[in-house]
Copies of this chain bind each other. A is one copy, B any other.
Amino acid sequence: MILCTDVKGLRKLVKDTGKKGKTIGLVPTMGALHEGHISLITACSRENDLTIVSIFVNPVQFGPNEDFDQYPRDLSGDCQKAEAAGADIIFTPDAGSLYPGKDMTWVETTGDIVKVLCGRTRPIHFRGVTTIIAKLFNITMPDKAYFGQKDAQQVEVIRKMVNDLFFDVELHIMPIVREQDGLAKSSRNIYLNKEERQSALVLYKSLKCAQSLFLQGEKNLQTICSAVHDMIAAEPLGSIEYVEAYLLPGLIPANEEFNGRALVAVAVRFGTTRLIDNVILGE
């Protein structure tokens, strides 16, 4: 496995690979790799000749009061895990090489798709995400890129960016990986104390409840959201940021009964830790 910190060096590796007719897969991460990331790397490695894992805690997707400084970092542990999962190249650029000055070129998706859900409290987040992903796509020229369904809104926004800007990359979205007790894997789970960790199980329980209601025939997303909301609200340590549901793809509001696929997504604080989770209803 090659550890590459340098855009030029990576670009050369990428071009040499492309010239040989081989396929490139990209797994963009912020490090602190857990089994969710590993599932992306494993799939990428299985489906591509060259697997690039980027590890970069992207400053411009964090708001001023968010956890950029505290965000967990463990490069040597990450390298071991990524290599074991099949990574060929780890790309760890420094912020100065990706953002050399204060004036920059932003890639920004507009519309309700970035305003609902996490966009309500994280107004600059998705602009930061689309900008870094555009850079990584241009640097690594992937045939396929891998993202986790855990970040459901990110998936929809990146899908829109790819379509709007005609990036020639196939998006592969991998299912949420959970702890045995149902808590979705997240680099931020380490922030939770024991009581919060226990309390946070309500997220998965409430989403399972949404799934059950749907399977029992409930097709009104407001009704489903109310049930999820009530269940989480009954948990004293949780403070709800949102419980919302939208049609997929594109996060389209549905007032009446829905057909097709819908996303039910929640964001809840346990102490100072903000967790998100979601479930997709329908096929």
Spell out A's residues near B (CB within 8 Å).
Answer: 7, 11, 19, 21, 100-113, 130, 134-135, 138-139, 141, 160-161, 164-168
A103: which B residues are within 8 A, CB to CB?
A: 109-113, 160
Give the copy number: 2
Is B135 in contact with A166, judged by CB distance below 8 angstroms? yes
Give the residue name and chain of the B residue nearest to A112 (CB): B103
Give the residue name and chain of the B residue nearest to A108 (CB): B106
User: Which residue from B7, B105, B168 sits with its C-beta under 8 Å from A11?
Assistant: B168
A/B interface sample: 5 pairs, CB < 8 A: A103-B109, A103-B111, A103-B160, A104-B110, A105-B130
Is A165 in contact with B107, judged by CB distance below 8 angstroms? yes
Say whether, besides A165-B134, A168-B138, A109 and B113 are in contact (CB < 8 Å). no
A110: which B residues are within 8 A, CB to CB?
A: 103-106
Residue in A21, A104, A135 with the greatest tally of chain B CB atoms within 10 Å: A104
Is A160 in contact with B130, judged by CB distance below 8 angstroms? no
Is B108 in contact with A105, judged by CB distance below 8 angstroms? yes
User: Which residue from B108, B135, B138, B164 sits with its C-beta under 8 Å from A108?
Assistant: B108
A155 to chain B minimum Cβ distance, whole angstroms, is 15
A105→B107 CA distance, assembly (Å): 7
A112→B113 CA distance, assembly (Å): 30
A167: which B residues are within 8 A, CB to CB?
A: 138
A113: which B residues are within 8 A, CB to CB?
A: 103
- Contacts A138-B165, A138-B166 aside, 8 further interface pairs with beta carbons under 8 A come to A11-B168, A102-B111, A103-B110, A103-B113, A105-B160, A106-B106, A106-B107, A107-B165
Is A107 in contact with B107, judged by CB distance below 8 angstroms? yes
Is B135 in contact with A165, judged by CB distance below 8 angstroms? yes
Is A165 in contact with B7, judged by CB distance below 8 angstroms? no
A111→B100 CA distance, assembly (Å): 13
Give the residue name and chain of the B residue nearest to A18 (CB): B18
A46 to chain B minimum Cβ distance, whole angstroms, is 24
